[in-house]
Amino acid sequence: MPVTTQAQDERRAWLEARKQGIGGSDAATIMGVNPWHSPYALYLEKAGLVDTSDDDNERMLWGRKLEPLIASHYAEVTGRKLAPGANMHFSAERPHLFANTDRTILPFKGRPKAGVYEGKTTSAYNVEEWRDGKVPLYYQVQLQHYCYVEEAEWGSFGVLVGGQQFLWSDASRNDRFLKSYLRKADEFWDRVKNNDPPPMEGHPSERKALGILYGAPDGEKAVDLPEEAHEWMEKLDAAKEAVKTADADKRKYDTLIRGAMGDALFGRLSGVRFGYKLAVEHKKEHTRKASSSRVLRKVKTV
């Protein structure tokens, strides 16, 4: 979907401003609970060593476009009034912490102080993470960060699941958690200021960041690796061998089950409510003729 030049410029300016400190979406990474990002990769971004301003996708784009609609529906469902959220609001106590919140929930009966509102979108596959008032851990950490910067006692989430189911839940400020988080956030920002990167973890985000940082390797350059690289190489070789063995076992047992099923659509195991379904997978035609293959999948039987 096309994005206007003005919108692109505003987003680039916002991403550039984020390098000035730690925002709510960085909090889970610093605490080590972000499945998509590591502290080392975040350090490279905050230190200005890699540029991820173009690191966007359609899912994120639609999340931004749907945010006003989700906020409107949240207000309708809860009866609460929303005001514009914080925009690059820096903490007075810790000027390296800032907040960009979606909305502010105005005080109402039972909640004499304003709260932080965050709107989210997620796949239908993640509904259990949000059902019955639950909130994914990385978003809980984000909200705690906002509660600290905004000096709020509580916050609330509105989430659109699978584009058709709306859920919402409240959460209170947790000062015990914030004590631990603020210590780690301070330590992380000290690293950024002192050009002291945190240890690498081997996270996929680090591989991507290193690719941006170093680009194509120098064909003539050689470096001496640290002593611990001996252990890394041994573990890498062992992992590669384990993958080869696992792939071989996968093919072996997949073939045995296919043979036992023959031309049947379902296979059942006595006393177990699961069977195996041979589904037809249609491949798109490119340089070869389109074809079909049977894919073995575990499915519930009726």
218 in a structural domain:
no
Q: What pLDDT does 59 receive?
A: 78
Domain count, the chain: 3
* In-domain check, residue 82: yes
What does the pLDDT look like over 19-73, one tens digit per residue?
889 999 999 999 999 999 999 999 999 999 988 655 667 877 887 888 999 999 9
- Would you state the structure tokens that stand for residue 179, as one six-digit string? 């004590």
Do 158 and 22 sit in the same domain of this protein?
yes
| Residues 50, 97 share a domain | yes
- Is residue 59 one of the residues assigned to a domain? yes
Per-residue pLDDT for 298 more than 70?
no
Same-domain status, 116 and 244:
no
pLDDT tier for residue 276 given thresholds of 50, 70 and 90: low
In whole angstroms, give the CA distance from residue 125 to residue 92. Answer: 40
> 154-161 and 115-122 as β-strands: parallel, antiparallel, unpaired?
parallel
Q: Could you report the per-residue pLDDT of 93-133, keeping only the tens digit for each?
A: 999 999 999 999 999 999 999 999 999 999 999 999 999 99
Contact indicator for 41, 189 with CB cutoff of 8 Å: no
Looking up residue 66, the CATH number of its domain turns out to be: 3.90.320.10
Q: Residue 163: which domain range?
A: 5-213
Helix (H) or strand (E) holding 61: helix 58-78
15 part of a folded domain: yes
* Contact (CB, 8 A) for 256 and 248: no
Question: Whole-model pTM?
Answer: 0.77
How many residues in total does the chain contain?
Answer: 302
Pair 235, 275 in one domain: no
Q: Are residues 178 and 58 in the same domain?
A: yes
| Residues 138, 251 share a domain | no
Interval 211-251: pLDDT, tens? 888 887 777 888 898 999 899 899 999 999 999 999 999 99
